[in-house]
Amino acid sequence: MRRLLWPVVQLALALGVASLLLQWALRLLGRRRTVFQVTYWRGVQLLIWPLASLCVALPLFRPLLVGPRSWWEIGLLGLLGAVILGFAAPSLLLHAQYYRRNRRTTLLFDARQNTLEVYEGPVPVPFARHDIERVEYCRCRARRAFWSNYEYLRLHLRDGRTLELTSLLTDLGPLAEFLRNTHLQPVRRWFCWL
């Protein structure tokens, strides 16, 4: 089993490191993006530490495959599994929820051109900046947790509609700065659950 898992773990880590280096090089040499969608690379960037913790913990569960021999081994492995899942599970749950909400969303944002448009699939969501009643900017209270990069902006429009933009699309800090004069309400939570 170890002969099978170790090459897969090495390949996953190599692909993750290569993707981060490629992103860094593209940011350094490329022009600024103005169109944002949920992409594989953004998902890798947000999930790198939770997935790395799961990969590190996989070899530790080998005794379960062989068969634990005593109750204390089962208890120790259960405790270890709870700690590992306690680190990784919130990130994975938030990622799944954000993906479900924004998988068809396209954000067109350029602060220099004063442009903010949201599309659901190919259909634009019509609103202007003066239509925004208030903006809720939810950020994680624990800044060093694996799930601390998961945040969202909720735009409450005057006609009762609500638009939710998550960190799977882009870093929301510049967008929140752009919307600072539209009754921006910062919210701090332990988990930025939608």
pLDDT at site 165: 92
pLDDT at site 164: 92
Inform me whether the pLDDT recorded for 1 exceeds 60: no
CA Rg, the chain, in Å?
20
73-125 confidence digits (pLDDT tens): 778 777 887 888 888 888 888 889 999 999 899 989 888 888 888 999 888 88
Highest mean pLDDT among 1-5, 139-143, 150-154: 150-154
Inform me whether the pLDDT recorded for 16 exceeds 90: no
158-185 confidence digits (pLDDT tens): 998 999 999 988 888 898 899 888 888 8
